[in-house]
Amino acid sequence: MATVADEKLGGAPADFDRLDEKAFVTPEPGQLDEVGVSKDGMRLHPQPTADPLDPLNWSGFKKHTILAIVMYLYFMFTYITTTTVPSFPQLQDSLGISYSQVNWTVAIPALGLAVGPLFWSSLADIYGRRIIFMTGTIIAFAATIGAAASKDYGGYMAARFFQGFGVSPAATVGMAVVMDLFYEYERGQKLGLWVLAIDTGLLVGPIIGGFMDLVSAEWIQWLTAILFAVLLVLEFLFMPETLYPRNYMLDRMPLAHSGGTDIEKIGQSKVDPAKVDLTRTTKLFFLNFRPVPGMRHPKPWDSVLRFILTFRYPIVVAGVLAFCFTWYWWILCIITMIPAAYVQYSPQIQGLLFLGLLLGTIFSEIFMSGRLSDYIVAKLAKKNGGVRLPEMRYVVVVADSLASLSAWVHAASDILF
């Protein structure tokens, strides 16, 4: 492997994870101690440093506080799309629109959610996660006030789009924060909690919206604005920068665990973390508008390019489409038709119809998702020379898919017969 000094950008070494990711995929069994830091015979990835500013070395409380903030924004990701559904009849009257037009008020924020990550992702790898989170939340907060105060269909739709656009960093940037904070062997559980946030937001939205409709359709948006305001305060006070120049630091200082072996073998000078002259994570300016130093930064349009290149991998595209159409599209179809299908019920009762889906989602996360996935991967990795592979998580995926398929077949049989 080439030394970090071979490639520099703005005086900082290139990012090893991007340049040499293949080196972490399938090492030979005898090479385990040359690839990273060992722990109970298992390889740790990312490779930790002895730097107290390294997010991997932060306390569990601090990490989980940041994770909770990320989950909060991801909860709002889908909450904003569905919380207005119980107020469809009131929106029709106040905006003078048809039922098909009011359905578009759910589709438009979803469009913002889809477009936003293409804009935010590369910027988060340049300027950091914190400033992108806060900027997106400010946009969503302002758009929500606009939606609450809007008196015409066009203004309301514009506000709804920017609601989705503002909250969209929760997807790709939120996942990046989880990757910054936790080791690979922990990510099944942590990403499971992160996904639980988006799933519960989708289903809790109509429940809360149904009861807020007792006040008015506008107050559904005013409550959402309050939730965004609280989130912005939490981000401002408790969410430090997590983008860390790991490979720059690994080249200059010892590893966190004695007995581990550095990726860069003997022959490099290691120094105390305090003597490394590089501003990073919590030492960055409180509101950082400059590229994070010590990183190899992408171009702002790289996220769009990577999205296009994804279509070279049919298995990835198939997985994305399966999720989009068997979960998100399916549940939105149900949600938007509830006011028309159960017109005899009040908006409050309509919202409570989603309790079953909510409880099923929580049950699945606790018993059939993250922690179980991590456990199975750890067992399979021990049989594979201490090397974890993404395919090891398919065991849980297949089991969950079969359970979902059986439920769908049962529901279809009840309807048909």
pLDDT of 336: 79
pLDDT of 17: 36
pLDDT of 42: 64
Q: Which residue has the higher pLDDT, 256 or 108?
A: 108
Query: What distance lies between CA 359 and its chain's CA centroid?
Result: 21
**Choice among 26-40, 47-61, 215-229 with the minimum mean pLDDT:** 26-40
Which of 243, 251, 276 has the alpha carbon at shortest distance from 8?
251
Strand partners, 43: 38
pLDDT, tens digit (0-9, with 9 covering 90-100), for 81-120: 999 999 999 999 999 999 889 999 999 999 999 999 999 9
The answer to whether 117 and 172 have CB atoms below 8 angstroms apart is yes
**pTM of the complete model:** 0.81
pLDDT of 302: 95
Q: Which residue has the higher pLDDT, 310 or 7?
A: 310
Across the range 390-405, mean pLDDT stands at 73
pLDDT of 322: 78
> If pLDDT is split at 50, 70 and 90, which confidence band does 414 have?
low
The answer to whether 39 and 47 have CB atoms below 8 angstroms apart is no
Name 55's Cβ contacts closer than 8 Å, sequence gap at least 6.
63, 180, 181, 242, 244, 281
pLDDT of 35: 42
Measure the CA–CA gap between 19 and 23, rounded to whole angstroms. 9
Across the range 272-295, mean pLDDT stands at 87
Highest average pLDDT, of 35-39, 89-93, 256-260, 397-401, comes from: 89-93
Which of 169, 142, 144 has the alpha carbon at shortest distance from 81?
144
Query: What distance lies between CA 239 and its chain's CA centroid?
Result: 15
Name the residue with tokens 């960093």: 169
Name 194's Cβ contacts closer than 8 Å, sequence gap at least 6.
67, 70, 71, 74, 174, 175, 178
The answer to whether 293 and 13 have CB atoms below 8 angstroms apart is no
> If pLDDT is split at 50, 70 and 90, which confidence band does 192 have?
confident
pLDDT of 361: 81
pLDDT of 255: 58
SS3 category, 139: helix
> If pLDDT is split at 50, 70 and 90, which confidence band does 256 have?
low
Name the residue with tokens 């939730």: 227
pLDDT of 218: 94
pLDDT of 227: 98
pLDDT of 415: 63
Cis peptide upstream of residue 46 (ω within 30 degrees of 0): yes
First-residue to last-residue Cα distance in the chain: 64
107: tokens are 């589709």
pLDDT, tens digit (0-9, with 9 covering 90-100), for 340-371: 788 888 888 888 888 888 888 888 777 777 77
Q: Which residue has the higher pLDDT, 71 or 328?
A: 71
Name 203's Cβ contacts closer than 8 Å, sequence gap at least 6.
82, 331, 354, 357, 358, 361
Asked whether the predicted pLDDT for residue 332 surpasses 90, the reply is no
pLDDT of 254: 59
Measure the CA–CA gap between 216 and 65, rounded to whole angstroms. 34
